[in-house]
Amino acid sequence: MSSYRFCRSDDVSLLVEAYNRCYRVHFPELQLLTVDGFKQWIRRLEIWTSSCMVASIGAEPIGVLIAGKRTHESLVFRVGVAPGHQRNGHASHLMDSLAQKLAILGPRRLVAEVPAERSAARRFVERCGYRVEARYTDFEHPGSMERPRSADLIFPVTVEELQANEALSLGVGRSWHRAAESLTRRADSLVGSALATASRIEAFALHTLPSEGPLEVLALGCADETRREMWLRPLLQQLCSTPRAVRLTRLEEGDPPFELIKSCGFHSVAHNTAYAFEAGETTA
């Protein structure tokens, strides 16, 4: 007999075990999750253990749902069922249980971001009543680009400085990972650069600085949308002048224009579909 329950703050180890047994097992290219890694999700992505669920048979986890929560919406981050227990309705039950809880306690809006190539996952989310809301694209540049002539005008900037200048909202996308809440929660691990006039910050970029792999740009903002070519192009060129790849993560068309990104030498490398659902809606 299978059982389902929402988790508590002391269930992190159980959630880590369930994730590795029920989700990561299907994607061996992913790193094994650790307790420290899960706590990083809590800090950076606002994953709430009280929004997470585990399905079990006895002491064995057979299904997991990991979710985050903010004031206005919740994120379905990971859903998985262990091999040998799939197609028995466990994942649907987990999704329904979360929706029923949020229909009462809120927030009623749920979102999910699914890699476009995972067609089975997209069909599952759609069967659960989620509707397509946006499509995101990742772009990558190989690096080692020539520095722009205006490089000397580009200066470092922090997340706190962007907030103080009311500039951070300029780079907010719909993606949970690029929202202002995610950027401020990981401010200590982000590097910023900006161009400014005497009156304001005209454009900025925020990116990670990993020990290996590409730089991941999580935010791009421009105060005047009609002058993106003038302000954003040199920032992108400066980022791409380093001898490592640069990745622009989960951009929606127009934020910034894909034509501008491609003209700087970026090419698309991944796509995600964003879904939304209102808890309490009838899915039939």
Residue 284 confidence (pLDDT) = 46
Over range 211-238, report the average pLDDT: 91
Note the pTM of the prediction, 2 decimals: 0.91
- Per-residue DSSP letter, 147: P
Q: Give the H or E element holding residue 168.
A: none
Question: For the stretch 62-89, what's the b/e string if a residue is b when 16 or more beta carbons lie within 10 angstroms of its beta carbon?
Answer: bbbbbbbbbeebbbbbbbbbbeebeeee
What's the CATH code, domain 138-272? 3.40.630.30
CATH 3.40.630.30 in the chain is located at 2-107, 138-272
Task: Please state, in angstroms and rounded to a whole number, the distance separating the CA atoms of residues 124 and 128.
Answer: 6
Average pLDDT in the chain: 93
- pLDDT digits 0-9 by tens, 82-136: 999 999 999 999 999 999 999 999 999 999 999 999 999 999 999 999 999 999 9
Does 170 score more than 70 pLDDT?
no
> How much of the chain, in percent, has pLDDT values that exceed 90?
81
In whole angstroms, what is the distance from residue 178 CA to residue 167 CA?
Answer: 14
Kindly indicate the confidence band of residue 165, based on its pLDDT and cuts at 50, 70 and 90: confident
How confident is the model over 272-281, as a mean pLDDT? Answer: 94
Res 172 pLDDT > 70: no
> What are the tokens at 208?
């990670």
Strand runs labelled E in 144-259: 155-157, 190-196, 201-208, 215-222, 246-252
* Residue 176 near residue 207 (C-beta atoms within 8 A): no
Least confident span in 6-10, 22-26, 54-58, 144-148: 144-148
pLDDT at 171: 59
Residue 176 has pLDDT above 60, yes or no: yes
Please give the pLDDT value at position 173.
Answer: 59
pLDDT at 261: 95
pLDDT at site 210: 80
Going from the C-alpha of 250 to that of each of 11, 15, 68, the distances in angstroms are 31, 26, 18
- Selected from 1.10.20.10, 3.40.50.300, 3.30.420.300, 3.40.630.30, the CATH number assigned to the domain covering 2-107 reads 3.40.630.30
pLDDT in tens, 141-153: 999 998 888 888 8
Per-residue model confidence (pLDDT) at position 155: 94
Q: What angle do CA 161, 167, 169 make, to 5 degrees?
A: 120
Q: Which of 18-27, 170-179, 216-225 has the highest mean pLDDT?
A: 18-27
Indicate whether 30 pLDDT > 80. Answer: yes
Segment 156-183 mean pLDDT:
85
